[in-house]
């Protein structure tokens, strides 16, 4: 059988399998990628040199600079997006939690589904080796998603798809099969800077550059200090876990976005109705129960209480103005 035909069929069937697993969009890039990957890698080094990673030392892993160090002989990467947008809003008066964490831990969801895809691929090509990479692996996932045609990296540093906006998490399956690559996506932000102007802490220091030291998501999720800086507290609003402001204002997210009815994306009720008093009063055992199987488990119980106290301080500051 013609090699090009079998390669084309394998590529098409692999994408079909990914769609069957609930992923959309899906795309493929060849390794080592185009010149744009090299530009993104250089941009990461400038970002790190500027100290914008704050205390996130894992961002400095040298393996992030070369995808080939993650899987010997890797020739292609399947990149998948999982839409986490659901047509619901948190209850009035509740504390704000970023949408990506409303449902089941996306790391588990992506890994489980990508594993089934990898097993299918190995059954088709017994000599094929593969490796799953979610965002805990040292991979420039948004750059590779752009390379694979899933969308473009916006000025808020999120990947944006013209049909689904930026409400999606990304997963990658590296493999040693040479597959047919998709065309990289061209950016469509144009002159729009809504995300930059909307950020309450000016964390988007310039288009495409996020200074984590000023980011609400960083301080509520990654900052392990006992106190959140006062200048950040004053801008927190009701955000106790993450922040969606730069996504909420994006014109691509104001279009009619498909609501995902997948049970693993469905919001947990406590997330939709969390009050300040609950966040402050729940003991560690209650938090442990609530956070089972949730991406929010990264925020330790003492951090939830710290964040809630910071929001209280913020409200007192507002009243005293």
**Mind listing the pLDDT tens digit for each residue in 89-100?**
999 999 999 999
Reference 141, options 189, 93, 82; nearest CA is 82
Per-residue pLDDT averaged across 114-138, rounded? 94
147-204 tens-digit pLDDT: 999 999 999 999 999 999 999 999 999 999 999 999 999 999 999 999 999 999 999 9
Per-residue pLDDT averaged across 19-40, rounded? 95
Token code pair at residue 197: 């102007």
Q: What is the pTM of this model?
A: 0.92
- The secondary structure of 236-280 as a DSSP string is -TTEEE---HHHHT-GGGSS-PPPP--TTTSPPHHHHS--HHHHH
Reference 95, options 308, 321, 309; nearest CA is 308
In the predicted structure, residue 62 carries a pLDDT above the cut 80 = no
Distance of CA 198 to CAs 122, 147, 184, 250, 302, Å? 46, 28, 29, 10, 29
pLDDT for the residue 47: 85
221-247 tens-digit pLDDT: 999 999 999 999 999 999 999 999 999
pLDDT for the residue 320: 39
Distance CA 306, CA 321 (A): 23
**Cβ pair 168, 161 in contact under 8 A:** yes
User: What is the bridge-based pairing of β-strands 239-241 and 96-97?
Assistant: parallel
pLDDT for the residue 4: 64
Angle at 298 between CA 100 and CA 202, to 5 degrees: 60
**Cβ pair 228, 299 in contact under 8 A:** no
Active-site amino acid positions:
135
**Cβ pair 310, 228 in contact under 8 A:** yes
Confidence of residue 5 (pLDDT cuts 50, 70, 90): low
In the predicted structure, residue 65 carries a pLDDT above the cut 80 = no
Per-residue pLDDT averaged across 24-46, rounded? 93
In the predicted structure, residue 111 carries a pLDDT above the cut 70 = yes
Confidence of residue 316 (pLDDT cuts 50, 70, 90): low
For the chain, the average pLDDT equals 93
Token code pair at residue 200: 């309450």
In the chain, alpha helices (H): 3-20, 35-49, 106-124, 141-147, 194-198, 216-217, 230-233, 245-248, 269-272, 276-281, 284-290, 301-319
3-state secondary structure of 206: strand
Distance CA 90, CA 227 (A): 26
pLDDT for the residue 103: 97
Fold of 3-88+103-175: NADH Oxidase (3.40.109)
In 125-217, alpha helices (H): 141-147, 194-198, 216-217
Could you tell me the residue ranges of all domains in the chain? 3-88+103-175, 194-319
Per-residue pLDDT averaged across 41-54, rounded? 86
**Cβ pair 260, 83 in contact under 8 A:** yes
């Amino acid at each position: 059988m013609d090699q090009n035909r079998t390669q084309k069929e394998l590529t098409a069937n692999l994408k079909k399998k990914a769609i069957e697993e609930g992923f959309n969009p899906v795309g493929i890039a060849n390794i080592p990628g185009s010149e744009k990957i090299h530009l993104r890698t250089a941009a990461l080094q400038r970002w790190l040199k500027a100290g914008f990673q704050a205390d996130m030392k894992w961002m400095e892993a040298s393996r992030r600079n070369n995808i080939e160090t993650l899987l010997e002989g890797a020739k292609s990467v399947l990149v998948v997006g999982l839409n986490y947008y659901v047509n619901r809003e948190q209850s009035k008066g509740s504390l704000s939690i970023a949408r990506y964490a409303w449902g089941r831990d996306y790391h588990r969801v992506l890994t489980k589904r990508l594993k089934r895809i990898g097993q299918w691929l190995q059954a088709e090509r017994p000599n094929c080796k593969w490796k799953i990479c979610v965002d805990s692996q040292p991979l420039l996932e948004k750059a590779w998603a752009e390379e694979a045609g899933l969308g473009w990296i916006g000025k808020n540093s999120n990947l944006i798809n013209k049909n689904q906006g930026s409400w999606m998490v990304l997963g990658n399956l590296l493999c040693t099969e040479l597959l047919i690559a998709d065309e990289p996506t061209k950016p469509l932000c144009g002159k729009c800077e809504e995300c930059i102007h909307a950020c309450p802490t000016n964390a988007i220091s310039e288009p495409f550059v996020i200074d984590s030291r000023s980011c609400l998501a960083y301080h509520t999720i990654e900052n392990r200090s006992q106190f959140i800086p006062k200048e950040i507290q004053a801008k927190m609003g009701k955000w106790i876990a993450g922040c969606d402001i730069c996504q909420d204002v994006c014109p691509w997210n104001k279009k009619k976005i498909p609501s995902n009815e997948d049970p693993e994306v469905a919001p947990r009720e406590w997330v939709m109705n969390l009050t300040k008093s609950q966040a402050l009063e729940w003991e560690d055992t209650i938090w442990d129960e609530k956070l089972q199987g949730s991406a929010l488990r990264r925020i330790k119980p003492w951090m939830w209480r710290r964040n809630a106290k910071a929001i209280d301080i913020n409200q007192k500051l507002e009243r005293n103005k």
